[in-house]
Amino acid sequence: MTLNLETVGQPIELEPFSYSWKETALYALGVGLGTESLDYVWEGSQTFKVLPSFGVIPTQPIVMNALSAVNANLKTLVHGAQTITLHAPLPKSGTLHSVGRVTEVQDKGKGAVVIIETETRSESGERLFDTTWSIFCRGQGGFGGARGESIPLPDQVDGPPIFEKVYPTTPSQAVLYRLSGDLNPLHVDPNLAQKVGFKEPILHGLCTYGVAVRAVLESVCADDDKTIKSFTARFSQVVFPGDELSVRIYDSVADNVYRLEVFVGETAVLSHGVVKLG
């Protein structure tokens, strides 16, 4: 399949995304929160709030539309990296208006990386958050394009992590997370998972991403969702439902910037994590 490079820069706008506290609470449950975090799962809480990483949910349909437009092979692509940049706390209910576009297609030789960016505003026009999705399309490179440039990481301060905690997942984690919108059968169908080389259905990478955001809020943000300004990370290895996620956060040489990694055992499953606070 040949990528359609003519889609680069073309705006993609779908129907507005309307939601209530139920969708945000379901997302919170999907990334492992529960009765210990009533502010995120119970609408009766006086301080009910929305996990910042919920922003990937309303923008995912635009990403799927963009991948279809660019003629990406949906059967072989891999989610490479994810960034969310926050401009204001997400309201606990409302209607969101998002617009996205393919901003770049990088030629990596045997594969290609499709960069998709979205911008989301509230019904009143307030800019709430932006997302950047890096999608690796296996077997669709070699078209003579630029390789793209790597974004340098802030230097990490030597020493142990300033925060380290193990977050368990359950065998049903993917079954629950998929109810927020990512219905890819790879996360639930054992036969399909084995057919493509996995021992069992894998956990959504964005579920692990959401767990990492939980750790950021719990540690360097002191549970103040207004302080996190952006979080980016690379998906390095697959996670299986039931795995224990060890989140490690390190200080960096830059002010209000932290490095983050997530491990299963000794294997990094989320790497190149950068958290920026404001």
> Is 187 noted as a catalytic residue in this protein?
yes
Contact 247, 161 (CB under 8 A): no
Query: Closest Cα partner for 195 from 183, 185, 206?
Result: 185
Helix (H) or strand (E) holding 213: helix 205-218
Strand, coil or helix: 49: coil
> Is 87 noted as a catalytic residue in this protein?
no
> Is 97 noted as a catalytic residue in this protein?
no
Q: Which of 107, 130, 182, 243 is catalytic?
A: 182
Q: Which of 187, 210, 243, 249 is catalytic?
A: 187
Polymer length in residues for the chain: 278
Sheet containing 94-107: give its strands across: 17-19, 94-107, 111-121, 127-138, 77-86, 228-235, 267-277, 257-264, 244-251, 163-168
Q: Could you count the other beta carbons within 10 Å of the beta carbon of residue 155?
A: 11
> Is 204 noted as a catalytic residue in this protein?
no
Q: Which of 205, 210, 249, 273 is catalytic?
A: 205
How many whole angstroms from its chain centre is CA 129? Answer: 13
Helix (H) or strand (E) holding 272: strand 267-277
Q: At residue 158, what is the residue type?
A: D
Annotated active-site positions, please?
Answer: 182, 187, 202, 205
